[in-house]
Structure 1
Amino acid sequence: MELMAAVTRLSALAQDSRLSVFRLLVRAGREGVPAGEIARSLDITPNTLSAQLTILSNAGLVRSRRDGRSIIYSADYGGMSELLVYLMEDCCQGRPEVCSPLAEAASRAACCNTTEEGIHQ
């Protein structure tokens, strides 16, 4: 991942409602959530949600698909994984105790215990 892509993704997450939307989508899993349900769950007006989803999508953190009349949004786990790896790739510098709390947290997370197409979910 290049520096500017990481900055774009971090910038997209650096706002409270976008971070809330992203976290909701991560929890929802690959099946995603309809836009209307996101708006209701987070008490965000539809036009504001649309702008927030566009920013997250342009940053490579959210995907969308049409299902009948609904648009379903889901987290882009590949984009999220790339960002996390970028942030962590130089973490330890020979000192594993620096990253061990993160490795322990990842090993406890149910989503991190399975893979699909070589990408940790």
Structure 2
Amino acid sequence: MQTKEAISALGALAQESRLAVFRMLVHAGPAGMAASRIAEQLGIPPSSLSFHLKELTHAGLVIPRQEGRFVIYAAGFETMNALVGYLTENCCGGSPCSPAGNI
């Protein structure tokens, strides 16, 4: 992952509703969820949810797919893993990391 991609992904997650949507989709796994179910479970109005899903999709954190007349949204696990890898790439200068409380 390149720095610009990481900034885009982090920016997309830096909002309460989008973070909640992403976490819900991670929990749902590859099967994903319909937008109506996401809106219902999180109490987000459909118009707001559309905006948030668009932002997450542009960052590659959400992958939409058509199933019949529904659009199913799933977490972009490849992007998520790349972001975690980017953030931890040089963790502790190559030395084993200690939990914060054990330093």
Normalised by the size of structure 1, how large is the TM-score?
A: 0.79
Partner in structure 2 of residue 16 of structure 1: 16
Between the two proteins, what is the percent identity of the paired residues? 48
Runs (4+) off by over 4 Å: none
Gaps in structure 1 of 5+ consecutive residues: 102-121
Q: Name the counterpart of 2:83.
A: 83
Deviation at residue 69 of structure 1 after TM alignment: 1.2
* CA-CA distance at 1:95 after TM superposition: 2.6
Asked whether the equivalents of residues 91 and 97 of structure 2 are also in contact (C-alpha less than 8 Å), the reply is no
Q: Which has the higher contact order (CA 8 A, sep 6+)?
A: 2
Once residues 11 and 55 of structure 1 are traced to their aligned partners in structure 2, the CA distance between those partners, rounded to angstroms, is: 9
Structure 1 counterpart of 2:11, one-letter code: S
**Unaligned runs of at least 5 residues, structure 2:** none
Q: How many residues align?
A: 99
| TM-score (norm: length of structure 2) | 0.92
Choose between structure 1 and 2: higher helix proportion: 2
Give 1:29 shift.
Answer: 0.3
- CA RMSD, 1 decimal: 0.9
